[in-house]
């Protein structure tokens, strides 16, 4: 073929290996070259230069030319299904739900599919309450991105104690295999950089935050998604004009700059300080929340960056509340005389030492203050805890005194070689806090000279004796109160009189050991099996064993824990909790309660808070708990959700320390009470709730119904397990694989062909959605969630085959490669259910929406039916499966139909015109509206923030310039101010351009992937000279339409008579005709009913059911009903008759429909 003969629109062979391409533009370059721009069958545009040397290989496509409709019909159906499975996520908008081992709840569905997935890129805070299942939401989101090939490199950053839990849940529930970073993994890394070699990785937050030497490796290759769990630990603060970042915060900043998607997960994003909250949000958008808000601290609208749902709003799909009620009780105990005297002596000591600590400088001041605070908290914990603490402290300081006396003369000052304490020790994890306390409480002292140290040792010696007297007296009033609860409170005992499973929180290991002995003795735990403990020193493996025993062993009744068990642990097997020690960080109150008040909890949760209101700090806490109870009643429990935010001006810890130091003064005590009253004032609480409502979502009945409807639609669109299984068995067999049925719904693969395994190794980049390789054999595979776990012991767990499984991906890739041109070549298919005589075209179209950067942000694919008159309609989600390949003996009879002018016209242009007028505008409007609104909001916020920062520095520059003109030396400060202004102006302009590019949303040209000519069986019968079989169902389209309409009306009336809300979905080609939503029963919403309606004229003998209808019925199981209505000549109605589970097996591959005897079906049916 000569270069001069290449024309626009021509279909060429020889340009791409084994592929037909369509010429878009042919640009001659004299004397003997041609620039060719062409389109591949998948719509991708390419360009190459052709020379005279290429002419020999060029040819117009003939045997594989587009729209010749002479392809093999059966191969066309298999290839179309392979393409549908390859692009399954376009059909199934909730693919992760349908391929994971979870049953997500409404709020989890909305988080992933409404709040997160539509955002491209995602920069988001997921802030649902503790126990709402945020790990499930993250797992669904990750799996959805992986299945859509939108994320390959995923990093999870979690507290050390939660990494194994993350790894296990992602594997067991989502089939995602993640590695945990360790030194061993680093040493085994082929490149020396495991962050580059491993695509799915979990790292420990503090391990990485402190290892500055690993940060370059971590960020060497960009990540697609980074998830931070317990993200409230990523904190930064302004101290005056200086911004202090924690190492955790700095790590998050670095990772945020090297990932496309960033997800921060925390139930407590707001610590009560708006300025800190905005610094936290700057991790998502450093421009939008840059610096300090220069008009003072303003609250900001975070509805596009954060999602928060509170427990009281969460419901199940049946409309009932997800979480049971939670009740809290304040239990006051009165100190004995000995205990009161000890309290006063120790508190006086702590006060005096705090006064001395105030005079210290730097790190030592913080260490001593931390140690004294911990000592005071141990005083409130138990006589045993304060005795052991004083004893150890006395011993350590006495040894220190001896060491100092032996030091060189004249040194005088006492050294302080102790660990640093962060500015806000609440940022420490529970394990870290325990370890730091153990180090500092026993050693950190405010003594600066040997003489001062001698005096402190003498005071401690006397305190140790007094504490021992209290211990020896055996009168622990706090324990007596707990003992009374355990023995006398009916809520604590079950029907057999045994203690119900109960969790008891203390803050100190000495108290934990003390309670272990006391409770064991009280309930007769001679074998030490009924009471178990977890603390910061408990090894991870041991911790997991203890949790498992508490869950599963009926003899294990009580778990005593420090806050090490308060993060990320699921203990909803219990519904009783005691706060033996009250935390000074109110967030920890909710975190503790969240251990039992979680998804799956069926019982009312009870919490007892023990407090001695005659102590200084106890009086403040008692007032807090009383006010909390009142407001909790008024706000229906929602005050628990915001406890961490109520102390905005002064933290609870600061109030309690002030009480310890000055609470003996009536005016100070009154002031502290007022502060507590103000913090928990109804108006203040409502203001916080209203502020949170900006990012808060509710699940009212209307929204719940909308979510259920969306799930029904997704259920209809998705590639159901029976579709997947049917395709897999046919394609696997055609490629030479060997698979055998075993237990119900499970199969054994004894041989995977080398071609499939080799193709798996060749699939790389974003097309590879799973890191697991394809192996030679599989002991068990299945296609449904319920078949994954074996039904009997000794049988292997099954691998679930779904569209994203590596074996399925490799197989579909092979099928599509082998039949690359077949979809566009087209085939003739027969509709066995259509007795008409008018053929139509069936096209498979895809359409993309792209950002200004050319990134695909949305993609759609659907089947479209085009009639001879050019009218087009949606054809359903799998119409090709209801059709049959043409018998080649019938092809000559169709010559006239194939040569019809409407078919020989420019079919591709016709299909594209249809897409441009119907598919594209609606798709573009939906995506553009959502994206532009988000960009405009961000642009306005960024402009406001940076403009005010520029104005601040401009004003500062002008004042410095005036000072310079007055003769002052301010050159350095003046230059710094000028440089800052220039940087900020550049930053604002750069971000404005970036956002404007994001705002630009463009429609790509739709692509026709394939097409078929669909011939009604009625036309073939007419061409053969056959008469239509008499089955009692009119071949007259008008009469048939009337019968179907009357049948639909009859079923609708029958359902509405039952009080159901009925939705006609027949035009959506779901696989059924009506969705019927029953009314609530006993406060619960029953499952919807999916009804396929079959109307038949009286006298009919058979009912025809298509392959799609049968597969949908099998997939829907109990939800599916087959409704049969008999219509008389006078339009009289008999029925409807309902059949549940109408089909007992799926049709074989290639079977498009099945005729059933009407009498046999009616014999099994029940009247509506």
The whole-number mean pLDDT for each consecutive block of 10 residues of the chain, a chain of 1168 residues, reads 87 83 90 89 84 88 72 89 81 77 87 86 88 90 85 91 86 88 89 91 92 91 94 84 86 94 89 82 87 64 83 81 87 94 93 85 77 89 93 89 74 54 56 70 79 90 94 93 93 87 92 92 75 85 86 90 72 93 85 85 92 91 87 74 72 86 87 86 78 61 72 65 84 93 92 92 62 87 85 82 88 87 89 86 87 77 83 80 88 88 73 75 81 82 83 86 82 84 88 82 85 91 76 62 91 93 83 87 82 89 83 80 90 90 79 84 86
Answer yes or no: is 779 within a domain.
yes
Select from 382, 351, 375 the least CA-distant residue to 612. Answer: 382
Strand order in the sheet with 223-228: 179-180, 200-204, 154-158, 223-228, 259-265, 123-126, 306-307
User: Same structural domain for residues 527 and 447?
Assistant: no
Q: Which of 473, 498, 519 delimits the end of a domain?
A: 473
Q: Are residues 557 and 456 in the same domain?
A: no
Per the structure, how many domains does the chain have?
7
Whether 995 and 879 map to the same domain: the answer is yes
139 shares its domain with 282:
yes
Q: Are residues 467 and 481 in the same domain?
A: no
- Strand ranges inside 889-929, DSSP E: none
Which DSSP string corresponds to 675-689?
HHHHHT-HHHHHHHH
Containing 1064, the helix (H) or strand (E) segment is strand 1061-1064
Residues 665 and 744 in one domain: no
Unique residue bearing structure tokens 């359409």: 847
Same domain, 286 and 302: yes
Structural domain harbouring 34: 3-60
Which parts of 967-1016 fold into alpha helices (H)?
971-999
- H-state helical runs in 735-805: 754-762
Residues 298 and 423 in one domain: no
CB neighbours of residue 626 within 10 Å = 15
pLDDT reported for residue 429: 58
What is the C-alpha separation between 1034 and 499, in angstroms, rounded? Answer: 72
Please name the helix (run of DSSP H) or strand (run of DSSP E) that holds residue 611, with its range, or none.
Answer: strand 605-611
Cβ distance 757 to 810 under 8 Å? yes
Q: What is the CATH number of the domain that holds 54?
A: 2.30.30.30
Together in a domain, 279 and 378: no
- For position 410, what pLDDT does the model report? 47
Measured distance CA(65)–CA(20) in Å, rounded:
7
In a domain, residue 732? The reply is yes
Calculate the CA dihedral of residues 721, 722, 723, 726 and round it to 10 degrees: 120
Domain holding 1077: CATH number? 3.40.1350
| pLDDT at 1031 (0 to 100) | 47
Q: Which of 355, 577, 353 is nearest to 460 (CA)?
A: 353
Q: Which of 815, 837, 866 is the last residue of a domain?
A: 815
Q: What is the DSSP string of 438-490?
A: HHHTTT-----BHHHHHHHHHHHHHHHHHHHHHHHHT--HHHHHHHHHHHH-G
pLDDT of residue 766: 44
Helix 616-634 and helix 362-381: axis angle, to 10°?
A: 70
760: which 2 tokens? Answer: 């798996």
Q: 787-794 contacts: CB < 8 A, separation 24 or more?
A: 787/743, 787/744, 787/745, 787/746, 788/101, 790/743, 791/743, 791/744, 792/743
The pTM of this model reads 0.73
CB 199 within 8 A of CB 221: no
The answer to whether the CB of 977 falls within 8 A of the CB of 957 is: yes
Give Cα 817 to chain centroid, integer Å. Answer: 35
What residue spans of 200-336 are helical by DSSP H? 205-210, 215-218, 247-256, 274-281
Residue where one domain finishes, among candidates 473, 507, 540? 473
Q: Is residue 701 part of a domain?
A: no
In a shared domain, residues 194 and 270: yes
355 with 256, same domain?
Answer: no
Q: 352: part of which helix (H) or strand (E)?
A: helix 337-357
Verify that 1117 and 1161 share a domain, yes or no: yes
Q: How many of the other CB atoms lie within 10 Å of CB of 472?
A: 11
Residue 501 CA to residue 516 CA, distance in Å, equals 15
Residue 450 lies in a domain: yes
CATH value at residue 505 = 3.40.50.300
């Amino acid at each position: 073929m000569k270069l001069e003969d290449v024309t626009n629109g021509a279909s060429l062979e020889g340009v791409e290996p084994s592929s037909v391409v369509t010429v878009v533009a042919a640009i001659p370059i004299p004397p003997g070259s041609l620039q060719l721009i062409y389109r591949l069958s998948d719509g991708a545009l390419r360009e190459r230069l052709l020379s005279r040397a290429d002419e020999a290989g060029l040819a117009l496509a003939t045997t594989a030319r587009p729209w010749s409709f002479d392809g093999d019909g059966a191969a066309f159906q298999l290839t179309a299904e392979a393409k549908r499975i390859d692009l399954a996520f376009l059909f199934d908008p909730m693919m992760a739900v349908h391929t994971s081992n979870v049953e997500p709840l409404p709020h989890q569905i909305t988080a992933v599919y409404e709040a997160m997935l539509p955002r491209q890129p995602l920069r988001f805070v997921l802030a649902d309450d503790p126990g709402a299942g945020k790990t499930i939401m993250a797992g669904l989101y990750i799996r959805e991105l992986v299945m859509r090939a939108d994320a390959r490199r995923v990093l999870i950053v979690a507290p050390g104690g939660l990494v194994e839990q993350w790894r296990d849940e992602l594997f067991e529930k989502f089939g995602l295999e993640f590695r945990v970073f360790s030194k061993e993994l680093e040493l085994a890394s082929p490149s020396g950089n495991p962050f580059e070699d491993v695509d799915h990785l979990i790292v420990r937050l503090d391990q990485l935050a402190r290892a500055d030497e690993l940060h370059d490796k971590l960020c060497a290759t960009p990540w697609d998604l980074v998830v931070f769990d317990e993200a409230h630990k990523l904190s930064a603060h302004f101290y005056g004009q200086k911004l202090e970042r924690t190492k955790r915060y700095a790590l998050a900043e670095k990772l945020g700059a090297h990932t496309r998607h960033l997800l921060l997960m925390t139930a407590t994003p707001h610590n009560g300080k708006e300025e800190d909250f905005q610094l936290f949000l700057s991790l998502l958008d450093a421009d939008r929340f840059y610096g300090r808000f220069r008009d003072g601290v303003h609250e900001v609208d975070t509805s596009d960056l954060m999602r928060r749902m509170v427990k009281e709003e969460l419901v199940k799909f049946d409309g009932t509340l997800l979480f049971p009620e939670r009740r809290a009780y304040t239990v006051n105990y009165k100190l004995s005389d000995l205990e009161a005297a000890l309290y006063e002596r120790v508190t006086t000591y702590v006060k005096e030492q705090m006064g001395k600590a105030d005079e210290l400088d730097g790190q030592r001041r913080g260490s001593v203050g931390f140690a004294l605070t911990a000592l005071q908290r141990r005083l409130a914990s138990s006589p045993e805890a304060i005795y052991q603490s004083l004893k150890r402290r006395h011993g350590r300081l006495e040894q220190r005194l001896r060491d100092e006396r032996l030091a060189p003369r004249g040194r005088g000052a006492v050294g302080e070689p102790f660990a640093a304490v962060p500015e806000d020790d609440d940022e420490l994890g529970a394990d870290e806090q325990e370890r730091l306390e153990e180090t500092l409480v026993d050693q950190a002292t405010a003594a600066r000279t040997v003489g001062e140290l001698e005096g402190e040792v003498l005071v401690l010696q006397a305190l140790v004796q007094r504490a021992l007297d209290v211990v020896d007296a055996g009168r622990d009033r706090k324990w007596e109160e707990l003992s009374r609860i355990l023995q006398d409170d009916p809520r604590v005992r079950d029907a057999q009189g045994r203690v119900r499973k109960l969790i008891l929180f203390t803050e100190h290991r000495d108290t934990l050991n003390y309670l272990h002995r006391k409770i064991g003795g009280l309930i007769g735990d001679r074998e030490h099996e009924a009471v178990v403990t977890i603390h910061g020193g408990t090894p991870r493996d041991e911790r997991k064993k203890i949790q498992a025993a508490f869950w599963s062993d009926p003899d294990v009744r009580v778990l005593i824990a420090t806050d090490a068990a308060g993060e990320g642990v699921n203990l909803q097997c219990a519904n009783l909790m005691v706060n033996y020690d009250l935390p000074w960080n109110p967030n920890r109150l909710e975190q503790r309660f969240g251990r039992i008040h979680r998804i799956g909890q069926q019982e009312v949760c009870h919490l007892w808070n023990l407090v001695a209101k005659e102590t200084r700090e106890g009086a403040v806490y008692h007032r807090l708990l009383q006010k909390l109870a009142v407001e909790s009643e008024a706000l229906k429990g929602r005050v628990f959700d915001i406890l961490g935010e109520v102390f905005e001006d002064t933290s609870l810890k600061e109030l309690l320390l002030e009480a310890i130091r000055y609470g003996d003064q009536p005016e100070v005590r009154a002031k502290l009470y007022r502060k507590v009253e103000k913090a928990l004032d109804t108006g203040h609480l409502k203001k916080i709730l209203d502020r949170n409502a900006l990012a808060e979502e509710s699940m009212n009945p209307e929204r719940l119904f909308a979510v259920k409807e969306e799930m029904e639609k997704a259920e209809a669109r998705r590639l159901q397990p029976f579709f997947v299984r049917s395709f897999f068995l046919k394609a696997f067999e055609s490629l030479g694989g060997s698979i055998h049925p075993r237990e119900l719904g499970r199969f054994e693969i004894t041989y995977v062909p080398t071609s499939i395994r080799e193709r798996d190794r060749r699939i790389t980049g974003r097309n590879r959605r799973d890191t697991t390789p394809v192996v030679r054999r599989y002991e068990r595979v299945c296609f449904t969630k319920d078949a994954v776990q074996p039904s009997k012991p000794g049988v292997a767990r099954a691998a679930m085959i779904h569209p994203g499984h590596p074996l399925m991906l490799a197989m579909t890739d092979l099928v599509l490669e082998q039949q690359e041109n077949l979809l566009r070549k087209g085939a003739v298919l027969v509709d066995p259910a259509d007795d008409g005589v008018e053929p139509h075209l069936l096209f498979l179209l895809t359409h993309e929406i792209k950002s200004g950067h050319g990134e695909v942000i949305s993609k759609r694919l659907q089947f479209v039916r085009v009639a001879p008159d050019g009218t087009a309609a949606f054809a359903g989600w799998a119409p090709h499966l209801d059709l049959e390949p043409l018998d080649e003996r019938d092809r000559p009879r169709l010559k006239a139909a194939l040569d019809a002018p409407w078919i020989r016209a420019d079919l591709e242009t016709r299909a594209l015109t249809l897409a441009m007028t119907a598919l594209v505008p609606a798709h573009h409007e939906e995506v553009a509206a959502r994206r532009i609104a988000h960009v405009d909001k961000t642009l306005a916020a960024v402009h406001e923030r940076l403009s005010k920062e520029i104005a601040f520095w401009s004003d500062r520059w002008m004042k410095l310039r005036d000072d310079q003109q007055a003769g002052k030396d301010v050159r350095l400060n003046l230059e710094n101010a000028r440089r800052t202004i220039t940087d900020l102006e550049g930053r604002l302009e750069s971000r404005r351009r970036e956002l404007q590019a994001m705002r630009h949303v463009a429609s790509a040209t739709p692509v026709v992937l394939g097409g078929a000519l669909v011939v009604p069986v009625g036309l073939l019968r007419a061409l053969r000279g056959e008469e239509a079989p008499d089955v009692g169902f009119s071949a007259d389209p008008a009469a048939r339409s009337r019968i179907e309409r009357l049948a639909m009306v009859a079923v609708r009336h029958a359902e509405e008579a039952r009080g159901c809300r009925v939705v006609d979905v027949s035009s959506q080609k779901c696989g059924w005709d009506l969705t019927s939503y029953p009314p609530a029963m006993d406060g619960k919403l029953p499952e919807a009913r999916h009804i396929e309606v079959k109307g038949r004229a009286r006298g009919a003998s058979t009912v025809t059911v298509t392959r799609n209808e049968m597969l949908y019925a099998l997939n829907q199981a109990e939800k599916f009903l087959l409704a049969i209505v008999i219509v008389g000549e006078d339009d009289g109605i008999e029925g409807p008759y309902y059949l549940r589970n109408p089909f007992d097996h799926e049709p074989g591959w290639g079977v498009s429909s099945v005729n059933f005897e009407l009498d046999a079906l009616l014999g099994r049916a029940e009247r509506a």
